[in-house]
Chain A
């Protein structure tokens, strides 16, 4: 608590350091929150991805249902839906408004169809691709349709953005390490005399190190809290416009912040970062100060 008191006694310098740490941590965190939201959105969309199998005309209704059932047992398949040519025709008649034209054709031109709803897995599009390859090899299948190029592109973009977030996050974490290290270094130099006296009257290195390490821990923790507050404010400010945009697409989507567990993990991480920064500075500079 001694070190917290010390921060409190130098409010201007401490709050400036904490603000720098806060902003440095808020950038990657905000980025991360946005990506989380986008992923949530895309995850919702790709549940809508369907693979449609147009079977050969020779397949009869019984075979169709049997195949549909078999496929529903496949790994990576959530459920399947069999559509007989007659059902397909009825659906087409209902939705397309070309009923009269169909009557003119005489026979039913539609093939038996199985619609496959893939199960969404972590592997994402790779799994979908693999599934479609396997389906294509079935002897009964004439044509396979999977319209998901845009989902693939979006996921690829998110993938890149996620990697960028990690890189930026890594660099900014390094920056936090250096900011804390530098603050603690200045603190050590400023209290040089105190350290010398303490060493002279028998203080161990561990005893001298402790308040500086606590200082770093506090800086990290308070900086982390600042970052969470900044991200919270950003989400609040962006929430309205995002909701408006979503409503234009008829989507109930809205921005989510970090959950409690992630918040606590984040604070623990930033506190550890502060501690590590202090450790680096203390290790380097305390050795240099010897009475003499």
Chain B
């Protein structure tokens, strides 16, 4: 589902963020990208979401070689992904429901269909009763769950999460991770960047440890014993 071959990323500033990364995630896999901040976790996710382009190597996502995708087609690539950020990136001038609806509005989904799917996504993260609330009135954990609802409302085959529990206390963090696990159980490929080793151990999923832009111990996402 996600394949990286000899991928390197050097920023225009000369800083080498990733060096010769080889990685393969099959459809339905769930894995954690770990490492200190600055190890290249975010850069790797950005390459998959085409927020950045690699300097060398090639990336194939869902059978599509990203190098062959022109800039005009980037939006359509991103619609196949669900992306979750550390700061949830919610829009505070509209309701929770409208925030979750945004990907569907962008994709031009019919109105009745939007309402139905927004409710389903909010229900899945346990926030159906907050549909008409403003995001500012929600707790941090709830805001993060709204962000997840927005990422999955499109039913993407791949979920990417960059430090999704970075701002949460341990209890809420586990709750969020369980949510990702649930999506994974129904076949969604999940790749989560996190530095919270304790939490990741708890999840018993493969780890991809990054260190200074290289994969530290494993060259592919083989299961890592916890």
Majority SS of interface residues in chain A? helix
Q: Which residues of A contact B75 (CB under 8 A)?
A: 199, 202-205, 207
Q: Knowing A200-B89, A201-B150 touch, does A292 contact B106 (C-beta < 8 A)?
A: no
**Minimal beta-carbon separation of B146 from chain A (angstroms):** 12
Give a binary string over A190-202; 1 marks a CB under 8 Å from any B CB, 0 the rest: 0001101111111
State whether the Cβ of A124 lies closer than 8 Å to any Cβ in chain B: no
Q: Is A291 among interface residues, defined by CB-CB distance under 8 A?
A: yes
Assuming the contacts A202-B78, A202-B103, A203-B75, asked whether A193 and B52 have C-beta atoms less than 8 A apart, the reply is: no
- A292 to B46 Cα, complex, angstroms: 8
Instruction: Tell me if B78 and A200 are in contact (CB < 8 A).
Output: yes
B51 and A198 contacting across the interface, CB-CB below 8 Å: no
Asked if residues A202 and B91 are in contact (CB atoms below 8 Å), the reply is: no
Contacts of B76 in A (CB 8 A): 202
Contact size range, B = 20 to 34
Interface size on A, residues (CB 8 A): 16
Q: How far is the CB of B185 from chain A (nearest CB, A)?
A: 24
Complex CA gap A197/B91 in Å reads: 8
Chain B residues 75-114 with CB under 8 Å of chain A are 75-79, 83, 89, 91, 93, 102-103, 106-107
Instruction: Check B103–A201 contact: CB distance below 8 A.
Output: yes
Name the one of A202, A207, A292 contacting B51, with C-beta atoms under 8 angstroms: A292
Residues of A within 8 A of B46 (CB): 292
Q: Check A207/B49 contact, CB under 8 A, given A201-B78, A202-B75, A202-B78.
A: no
* CB–CB A193/B89 < 8 A: yes
Contacts of A203 in B (CB 8 A): 75, 106
Among A200, A204, A205, which residue has its beta carbon within 8 angstroms of that of B49? A200
Give Cα A203–Cα B101 distance, bound, in whole angstroms. Answer: 13
Closest chain B CB from A137 CB (angstroms): 71
- Minimal beta-carbon separation of A57 from chain B (angstroms): 88
Nearest opposing residue in chain A for B78, CB measure:
A202
What residues on B are CB-neighbors of A199 within 8 Å?
75, 78
A196, A207, A290, A291: the one within 8 Å of B106 (CB): A207
Do A292 and B52 have beta carbons less than 8 Å apart? yes
Distance, CA A88 to CA B96, complexed state (A): 95
* Alpha-carbon gap, A194 to B135, bound state (A): 14
Q: Nearest chain-A residue to B81 (Cβ)? A: A202
Task: List B contacts of A205 (CB < 8 A).
Answer: 75
Give Cα distance in the complex from A199 to B72, angstroms. 12
| A203-B75, A292-B46, A292-B51 as given contacts; A198 in contact with B106, CB under 8 Å | yes
* Pairs A–B under 8 Å by Cβ, sample size 24: A193-B89, A194-B91, A194-B93, A197-B91, A197-B102, A198-B106, A199-B75, A200-B51, A200-B83, A201-B79, A201-B83, A201-B102, A201-B150, A201-B154, A202-B75, A202-B79, A203-B106, A204-B72, A204-B75, A207-B75, A207-B106, A290-B51, A291-B51, A292-B52
Residues of B within 8 A of A (CB): 46, 49, 51-52, 72, 75-79, 83, 89, 91, 93, 102-103, 106-107, 150, 154
